[in-house]
Amino acid sequence: MIDDNGVQVIRIGVLGCGNVGAALVDLVRTQADTVEQRTGLRLEIAQVAVRNMSAQRDVDLADGVLTRDAQSLVTDPNIDLVVEAIGGIEPARGYILDALKHGKPVVTANKELLANCGAELYAAADAAERDLLFEAAVAGGIPIVRALRESLHGEPITRVMGIINGTTNFILTKMTDAVLGGGDGDYAATLAEAQALGYAERDPTADVEGYDAGAKAAIIATVAFGAKVVAGDVYHEGISRVSGSEISIADRLGYCIKLLGIVERDAESHEVSVRVHPTMVPKEHPLASVRDSFNAVFVEGDFADSLMFFGRGAGGAPTASAVFGDVLDAAINLRRETHGSLGVLHEAKLRPIDETEAEYLLGLDVVDEPGVLHAVTGVFASHGVSIRVAEQEGNGPEARLVFITHSAREADVQATVRELRGLDVVRNVGGLLRVIGD
């Protein structure tokens, strides 16, 4: 639509007015004049679909903008562009497909949906010749999707490692500070704080158990490698089993523990490995300095070498910033009658977790008597797992052996652990932690 001053107006329909939707509405309102000066486009919030019309909202909306009829919003010819900020699979998937079918570009922050139904949605966007943009879906306000999609499009990327869940990084930071003597590490209180700050998912199990980071890792793999990777392909472990004693051992050995999403592609076999797990990160690695709810994504490529993207991965305002950038791109593309595409996605050749390789930390509570170290290291050797660091902590009933292996195959390490559990001299086998090099 062209307004009375001859300016093209892009009428935006927003689905959902929670943390992200409300912050986006605010951002459009405060930036509309600047955007108009710079692009000649006037962005306008035309409709906002909500479930509860009378809910208290800290957002400035003109009369008649709120609606409960999300279905009519996505098909309304007076809406030029749709932002989906309701989350979940359905009805979000249906709304996005309908909006695209009706010729509207769509911007979404919904990683769960993209990680489960991405290929269908990207194909629908291509068929409709409209944008489907999703910068906010990975690491919130950090411009990583665009960097992978555009700047690094031709780069032979070998590995992407990210702290891509703000809630768990916030919790791990507080736990680490508490264990190392600096603060209060009450888990439930910290999670409640993350929820109050708008970081956590509606069901925070998704954060704590690694599903949210897993969804983002699947999207990263899809964009970085052009492979169809879905949430179900991702191996994940969350932070619920990370103990204070692991945090202090890691610290003493020069590491901190971070929940990492790791996406790798083997240059020869083209196998892709996608996993999320607590990881020991050397203190001198750039990812180790990422605290609180901040996110960071560390990209390694054959030509570009190492790159790190850092910023706010959670929270309404930073996420809305990413959504807003996409809205602007899609609006400009709409005016030019063009659109972007992820291109052809091929079936992913997935490397099972058993076949992945890493260094591992393993702690064993043992009987403190002669020959124990020999018996234990013999088990490692019999599975071809070589030891890089071996230490004894404590004596007598407190005796504990701590090992860091050289790079080893997961299946061999798991077999080692199973056999160690059967040794009489081993009283308890602690959790396995994977370790990354510097």
17 is in an annotated binding site: yes
70 in contact with ligand NAI (CB under 6 A): yes
105 binds, among ligand NAI, Na ion, ligand LTNE7NMQ, none (CB under 5 to 8 A by kind): none
N residues, the chain: 438
430 is in an annotated binding site: no
Please report how close the Cβ of residue 317 comes to ligand NAI at its closest, in angstroms.
9
111 is in an annotated binding site: yes
Nearer to Na ion, 235 or 324 (CB): 324
Contact 345, 120 (CB under 8 A): no
Of 118, 162, 166, 238, which one interacts with ligand LTNE7NMQ (CB under 6 A)?
Answer: 166
Contact 295, 163 (CB under 8 A): yes
165 binds, among ligand NAI, Na ion, ligand LTNE7NMQ, none (CB under 5 to 8 A by kind): ligand LTNE7NMQ
Residues 89-148 that bind ligand NAI (CB under 6 A): 91, 109-111, 136, 140
* Distance in angstroms (rounded) separating the CA atoms of residues 48 and 29: 13
Please report how close the Cβ of residue 91 comes to ligand NAI at its closest, in angstroms.
5
Contact 145, 169 (CB under 8 A): no
91 binds, among ligand LTNE7NMQ, Na ion, ligand NAI, none (CB under 5 to 8 A by kind): ligand NAI
Please report how close the Cβ of residue 298 comes to ligand LTNE7NMQ at its closest, in angstroms.
16
Of 10, 12, 82, 85, which one interacts with ligand NAI (CB under 6 A)?
Answer: 85
Of 98, 207, 237, 326, which one interacts with ligand LTNE7NMQ (CB under 6 A)?
Answer: 207
19 binds, among Na ion, ligand NAI, ligand LTNE7NMQ, none (CB under 5 to 8 A by kind): ligand NAI
16 is in an annotated binding site: yes
Residues 167-186 that bind ligand LTNE7NMQ (CB under 6 A): 167
279 in contact with ligand LTNE7NMQ (CB under 6 A): no
19 is in an annotated binding site: yes
* Reduced 3-state DSSP string for the chain: CECCCCCEEEEEEEECCCHHHHHHHHHHHHHHHHHHHHHCEEEEEEEEECCCCCCCCCCCCCCCCEECCHHHHHHCCCCCEEEECCCCCCCHHHHHHHHHHCCCCEEECCHHHHHHHHHHHHHHHHHHCCCEECHHHCCCCCCHHHHHHHHCCCCCEEEEEEECCHHHHHHHHHHHHHHCCCCCCCHHHHHHHHHHCCCCCCCCHHHHCCHHHHHHHHHHHHHHHCEECCHHHCEECCCCCCCHHHHHHHHHCCEEEEEEEEEEECCCCCCEEEEEEEEEEECCCHHHHCCCCEEEEEEEECCCEEEEEEEECCCHHHHHHHHHHHHHHHHHHHHHCCCCCCCCCEECCECCHHHCEEEEEEEEEECCCCCHHHHHHHHHHHCCCCEEEEEEECCHHHCEEEEEECCEEHHHHHHHHHHHHCCCCEEEEEEEEEECCC
188 is in an annotated binding site: no
283 tagged catalytic? no
* Distance in angstroms (rounded) separating the CA atoms of residues 166 and 420: 36
Of 319, 321, 405, 416, which one interacts with ligand NAI (CB under 6 A)?
Answer: 319
Nearer to ligand LTNE7NMQ, 323 or 328 (CB): 323
Please report how close the Cβ of residue 273 comes to ligand NAI at its closest, in angstroms.
24
Binding mask 307-346 for Na ion (x = CB under 5 A): ---------------x------------------------
* Nearest-10 Cα torsion for 369, 371, 372, 374: 160
Please report how close the Cβ of residue 326 comes to Na ion at its closest, in angstroms.
9
Residues 201-260 that bind ligand NAI (CB under 6 A): 201-202
246 in contact with ligand LTNE7NMQ (CB under 6 A): no
Please report how close the Cβ of residue 40 comes to ligand LTNE7NMQ at its closest, in angstroms.
33
Binding mask 290-319 for ligand LTNE7NMQ (x = CB under 6 A): -----------------------xx-----
Q: What are phi and psi of 291, to 5 degrees?
A: -110, 175
Tokens of 195: 């929820």
Of 98, 112, 131, 135, which one interacts with Na ion (CB under 5 A)?
Answer: 135
* Distance in angstroms (rounded) separating the CA atoms of residues 244 and 179: 6
Q: How far is CA 175 from CA 23, 102, 183, in A?
A: 30, 49, 8
Residue ranges of the annotated binding site for L-homoserine are: 201
Residue ranges of the annotated binding site for NADPH are: 111
Interface residues with ligand NAI (CB under 6 A) are 15-21, 49-51, 70, 85-87, 91, 109-111, 136, 140, 198-199, 201-202, 314-316, 319
Known catalytic residues? 216
Interface residues with ligand LTNE7NMQ (CB under 6 A) are 140, 165-167, 199-201, 207, 212, 313-314
